[in-house]
Structure 1
Amino acid sequence: MKRTRTPFAITFSVWRAAFLREALDRLFEGRAAWLWLLIEPIIYIGVHAFGFTTFHIHQVGGMGINMFIIAGFTGFLLWRRTWTQVLHGIDSNRAFFAYRQVKPFDVAIVRATLELFLMVPVSIVIMSLAIMAGHGMTLNTQNPIWLPQDPLLVMAAVLALWLLGLGLGLVTSVAMRFVPEIDHIFKILYLPLYYMSGALLPLSVYVPEPYQYILVANPVVDGVELMRLGFFSGYVGLKGVSLAYIYAWALGLILLGLMLYKRFSRKLVMR
């Protein structure tokens, strides 16, 4: 008797196969491709940390400048990489849509999940290197803090930024399918976003308090600030950040993205 597989079993098989393929491409596509996943954030963090210390800025909001940058930048990088991977997922896997079991959302969720699997160990390695170099959460050598003080908040912020990247990727991938030129705009925005999100710059220092509410309207800023607050509970940053606000944005974008994927399912897989 012929054994039929359930829809869940088919979906799981598609996700597993796509995950292995994407992982091999990301880690072994070029020479030492896996190493560049680690080198990129280290270069950004090292250059900006050196710049701040050159100008005698050693802490922000009570948090050591090195950990300030690491905590914020790794969270931002998770969001940005998840967004861009989902954004280009359809174009990078168009040949596989010839198989009716493979849907555009399968590619999106697999790429986003792979990014989470890659960024978590990368962040742990960067944090470990900083700790071994003697950089704690604060400059207090009498009572140094090496590990996150609120791990649950850190994990909640990481998950929120990841979901936000997934949701934005779903929506923008549909938009780029109809207007391919929009990708050029996104590439132009990549660098400004590093600074507008507060990943590399202390926005609470450079933006007057009466206008900080404008920055907090950006959910990525909330996620970055909550990452730092999770690492060091005494951190004083932007006021008004909210974890629920990020999840609300993430849920709204994911639902909108799913509706767009459903509405334009045939258009998305056509060449």
Structure 2
Amino acid sequence: MQNSSEMIHGIPRRNAFKIMCDTVHALLMREVKARFGSSKLGYFWVIAEPLAQAAVLGLLFTLIGRNSFANVPVALFLFTGILPFKLFSKLLSQLSVGIASNKALFAYRQVAPIDPVITRFVIEIATYAIVYLVIMAALAWLGFDVVPDQLLPFFMANGLLIIISFGLGLALCAAVQEWEDTPKLLAMVLTPMFYLSGVFFAATMIPAQYWYLLTWNPIFHIIELSRDAYFVSYTTPVGDWRYVMLCALVLLFLGLGLYRINRVRFSA
């Protein structure tokens, strides 16, 4: 029989972790319904967007006579750049406004400011995994070899991308608290980053004297390392695991620190 410290009026006491899990689950159902349930084509557009980007870029490269990069088919090369960058950009755009968009929910004592951020984080990771599997299954059906050459480094690169995105997303929550136009600035920054992150080119396609213009960008390193792990025919000359790990740790601690400092203001 449970003692009184574990029971409240005959109901089992929930610890903080259980409360957070229940809250995130409820927010997850609410967020999924709001984001995808309002449109019958909601799930379709999630897959159609990266497909359309890859198709346009693939057509452009085909028109100029490029059918492969480093002996890698154009379609596979583009998807291994577009999908990671889409995950990064979607995580930042969703996490950065996760707290500001759910202020009304903080009137409920069991809802903490971190809960909607975790909810959106889970949704974006799950969506990315589903989109990735669907697209790669379609490419496999078309006859492409879609199995990564080195699984562990490939998953490590994606894991570091997720950590960087989560830490930076939390930091941006604090920025949104101070300046409500932060999402507009973020959209302006993400547009040039798409062209500077190696989505549709590789480091080997650029003269070595210009690499310094791109190697400050950890997303460029991640895409390079991801392709290095994915394709046996490609070896990155610039991908640096130590730099990416350092960026991941710094941004994660920055995000967690800013959340800790501002957690009371987030609830106000």
Paired position in structure 2 for 1:18 = 27
Which of 22, 26, 43 aligns to 1:34? It is 43
Amino acid of the structure 2 residue aligned with 1:129: A
Paired position in structure 2 for 1:152 = 152
Contact residue 18 and residue 107 of structure 1 kept, 8 A = yes
2:201 counterpart of 1:210: no
Contact residue 213 and residue 240 of structure 1 kept, 8 A = no
Amino acid of the structure 2 residue aligned with 1:78: L
Superposition map of 1:193-232 within 5 A: 193-205=193-205, 207-232=206-231
Gap change, CA 1:164 and 1:41, over 3 Å in 2: same
> Does the residue aligned with 1:264 lie in a helix, a strand or coil?
helix
Q: Aligned partners of 2:55 and 2:103: how far apart in 1?
A: 38
Amino acid of the structure 2 residue aligned with 1:231: Y
Which of 64, 76, 79 aligns to 1:70? It is 79
Contact residue 93 and residue 183 of structure 2 kept, 8 A = no
Paired position in structure 1 for 2:265 = 267
> Does the residue aligned with 1:102 lie in a helix, a strand or coil?
coil
Amino acid of the structure 1 residue aligned with 2:119: V
Gap change, CA 1:244 and 1:100, over 3 Å in 2: farther
Paired position in structure 2 for 1:250 = 248
Paired position in structure 2 for 1:139 = none
Q: Aligned partners of 1:57 and 1:26: how far apart in 2?
A: 38
Q: Aligned partners of 1:247 and 1:28: how far apart in 2?
A: 37
Paired position in structure 1 for 2:4 = none
Q: Deviations over 1:189-233 (max 9, x none)?
A: 23222111111233531x321221441221111111122122112
Percentage of identical aligned residues: 28
Amino acid of the structure 1 residue aligned with 2:18: A
Q: Aligned partners of 1:203 and 1:52: how far apart in 2?
A: 17
Q: Deviations over 1:118-176 (max 9, x none)?
A: 11110111112223223x3xxxxxxxx44211122221111111111111111112112
Paired position in structure 2 for 1:180 = 180
2:63 counterpart of 1:54: yes
Which of 6, 27, 34 aligns to 2:15? It is 6
Contact residue 26 and residue 34 of structure 1 kept, 8 A = no
Amino acid of the structure 2 residue aligned with 1:183: P
Gap change, CA 1:244 and 1:110, over 3 Å in 2: farther
- TM-score, structure 2 normalization: 0.90
Q: Aligned partners of 1:94 and 1:16: how far apart in 2?
A: 18
Q: Which has the higher mean CA deviation after the structures are superposed, 195-204 or 152-161?
A: 195-204
Amino acid of the structure 2 residue aligned with 1:164: I
Amino acid of the structure 1 residue aligned with 2:234: Y
Q: Aligned partners of 1:17 and 1:25: how far apart in 2?
A: 12
> Does the residue aligned with 2:232 lie in a helix, a strand or coil?
coil
Contact residue 219 and residue 246 of structure 1 kept, 8 A = yes
Contact residue 87 and residue 169 of structure 1 kept, 8 A = yes
Amino acid of the structure 1 residue aligned with 2:102: N
Q: Aligned partners of 2:105 and 2:38: how far apart in 1?
A: 18
Paired position in structure 1 for 2:101 = 92
Runs (4+) of structure 1 moved beyond 3 Å?
201-204
Deviation at 1:63, TM superposition (A): 1.8
Paired position in structure 2 for 1:81 = 90
Which of 103, 127, 135 aligns to 1:118? It is 127
Paired position in structure 1 for 2:190 = 190
> Does the residue aligned with 1:216 lie in a helix, a strand or coil?
coil
Q: Aligned partners of 2:154 and 2:93: how far apart in 1?
A: 22
Deviation at 1:61, TM superposition (A): 2.4
Q: Which runs of 5+ in 1 are unaligned?
A: 137-144
* Number of aligned positions between the proteins: 259
Contact residue 85 and residue 111 of structure 1 kept, 8 A = yes
Amino acid of the structure 1 residue aligned with 2:114: F
Contact residue 80 and residue 226 of structure 2 kept, 8 A = yes
Q: Aligned partners of 1:123 and 1:88: how far apart in 2?
A: 25
Gap change, CA 1:190 and 1:30, over 3 Å in 2: farther
Q: CA RMSD in A?
A: 1.7
Deviation at 1:62, TM superposition (A): 2.7
Deviation at 1:67, TM superposition (A): 0.7
Larger Rg: 2
